[in-house]
Structure 1
């Protein structure tokens, strides 16, 4: 049985409806609207997202992080309709100042209400965390792509993009791989939309090239056992501005994925929850489906 058949078997047996529709859309000629229809079930009336869309947090209240997770799926299915209700809802949520301190959404990366629901330990609320641009940098890019240019939220995003870039330069190199990924997403959004006048894009690209090399885990012996940083977090296409300078490690990941698929069609989840073990067993399966989808996409994109 080949890698695709094994992966599909796992998805058919274990995935939630959202990941089933993602699989169908990406690999089985399924409908984009079917993905959106399921994705909308995670969207609250305020336009934000919740309810374990990001499987490590079961909070039913809208949060910036869960909303960011929705933008990743919107990007995955290439939903470009700026008037689509799901897009309008997200922009309304981001305009509401919910969990926004004037500079960042969810700057501490956790919210108080997380503690009322099953969650991974890193999503427990704490005011001791350092402020971060995860997921703000990516959300800024989403606004720049989808908001109308005459709206207050678009104008705010223009100012926030400059603030975020200045933060990135001042704190370069960043320690966090996820914060790094959000800045790469901001760069990609700005390039896609030809928004080239807010920051120095050549300088941005050059710094991001160096940032990627700072955070990728080059000790590949621990890739299958530890929670580490692989190039796929940043580079999902050979057309990426960051592919050629990282070609060798990207090509290695392609081979690594093919070699490390488990017999049930999934790949290992290299993190654990300390509490809520019953819910973690469920979330772990959800993560396996998400990893399967991302790995099959990666194999198809980087097929040597």
Structure 2
């Protein structure tokens, strides 16, 4: 286990962005979360939003909700505490929200820059992906804001008055919302139908050996303390076994889709490697040790 951790650490330090290096150091090497916040600031625009390819599938510098979501997910994972960063991001979201309280993943501005083929017109339509995920993350970090209120109301409306979406990422975003929203009784009422809908989808891979792109139980329950982990107790060990075996000889993990550039691929690999180590350590499959860290200790 020590060798696997050390190999992953070397990969992150050799190939990953500064952001993932700082997150790795915070999660596993005892570095303060302030380093993650400082790295995130480099992606934040004057309008409060995030861009500059923070989510690596598009190289657009403009602020986009998907990049805000990536920032908040990183912020939450690091346990950061920098309210001004989150407030500015929420203020930006208010400027791109439709009358229902929803935002879109992206905007046509991405067409002026390199992007993955799947980033096209469907990402310009406001919906639960990413609105529900953004609202859920704001509930997770306990940050109140008028945009969160509007987005929360939108999510309840989607759950209570409309068919559940057929796009798998939208359903996974709804589960993020249901996992963290404050109204637990209301969330628990809706969760079974959402989970049933997700697990019936072709792109949800209950079989860890399934090929091609899709979501797995470890995406829905990436850490052992996830509210959704008990739903997958009968298959979770198989997925953890598969994740362990998927570590590449260079120490990192790889991706199953085509990003827009070689740089994007490395950025994604850094991201998924940090996530893989985080999942494996949380579930007790990997254990960072002082011997494995050696000279990997961060500079404070």
TM-score range, shorter chain: 0.7 to 0.9
- 1:127 CA displacement: 6.2
- 1:230 CA displacement: 1.3
> Please, what TM-score do these two structures have when normalized by structure 1?
0.84
- 1:272 CA displacement: 1.0
Query: Partner residue of 1:177?
Result: 168
**Equivalences for residues 87-126 of structure 1 within 5 A:** 87-96=86-95, 98=96, 100-107=97-104, 109-124=105-120, 126=121
Distance 1:29 1:128 in 2: 37
- 1:164 CA displacement: 2.8
Tell me the secondary structure at the aligned position of residue 128 of structure 2: coil
Tell me the secondary structure at the aligned position of residue 52 of structure 1: coil
Distance 2:267 2:123 in 1: 30
Question: CA 1:54–1:78 in 2, change beyond 3 Å: closer, same or farther?
Answer: same
Tell me the secondary structure at the aligned position of residue 42 of structure 2: helix
Give the unaligned 5+ runs of structure 2. 286-300
Are the aligned partners of 2:25 and 2:31 in contact in 1 as well (CA < 8 Å)?
Answer: yes
Are the aligned partners of 1:55 and 1:286 in contact in 2 as well (CA < 8 Å)?
Answer: yes
Distance 1:291 1:127 in 2: 24
Distance 1:40 1:234 in 2: 28
Distance 1:244 1:155 in 2: 29
Are the aligned partners of 2:107 and 2:123 in contact in 1 as well (CA < 8 Å)?
Answer: no
**Equivalences for residues 60-99 of structure 1 within 5 A:** 60-79=61-80, 81=81, 84-96=83-95, 98=96
- Taking only aligned residues, the RMSD between alpha carbons, in angstroms, comes to 2.2
2:265 equivalent to 1:284:
yes
One of 206, 225, 244 as aligned partner of 1:218 = 206
Tell me the secondary structure at the aligned position of residue 290 of structure 1: helix
Query: Partner residue of 2:30?
Result: 29
Tell me the secondary structure at the aligned position of residue 138 of structure 1: helix
Query: Partner residue of 1:230?
Result: 216
Q: For residues 241-270 of structure 1, give each alpha carbon's deviation from its aligned partner in whole angstroms, at most 9, with x where no partner exists.
A: 321221122211111111121100112211
Distance 2:19 2:123 in 1: 34
Query: Partner residue of 2:3?
Result: 2
Question: CA 1:129–1:42 in 2, change beyond 3 Å: closer, same or farther?
Answer: closer
2:143 equivalent to 1:146:
yes
Tell me the secondary structure at the aligned position of residue 205 of structure 1: helix
Aligned residue pair count: 280
- 1:153 CA displacement: 3.1
Give the unaligned 5+ runs of structure 1. none
Distance 1:127 1:140 in 2: 21
- 1:158 CA displacement: 4.1
Tell me the secondary structure at the aligned position of residue 150 of structure 2: helix
Higher relative contact order, chain-length normalized (CA < 8 Å, sep 6+): 2
Query: Partner residue of 2:283?
Result: 302
Tell me the secondary structure at the aligned position of residue 31 of structure 1: coil
> Please, what TM-score do these two structures have when normalized by structure 2?
0.85
One of 214, 237, 245 as aligned partner of 1:259 = 245
Question: CA 1:252–1:137 in 2, change beyond 3 Å: closer, same or farther?
Answer: same
Q: For residues 136-192 of structure 1, give each alpha carbon's deviation from its aligned partner in whole angstroms, at most 9, with x where no partner exists.
A: 1122234453125xxx4354234223223235xx323x43221122111111221xx
Tell me the secondary structure at the aligned position of residue 220 of structure 1: coil
Q: For residues 10-52 of structure 1, give each alpha carbon's deviation from its aligned partner in whole angstroms, at most 9, with x where no partner exists.
A: 1111111111101100111111001100111101111110011
Tell me the secondary structure at the aligned position of residue 76 of structure 1: helix
Distance 1:110 1:154 in 2: 19
Distance 1:23 1:127 in 2: 33
Question: CA 1:84–1:288 in 2, change beyond 3 Å: closer, same or farther?
Answer: same
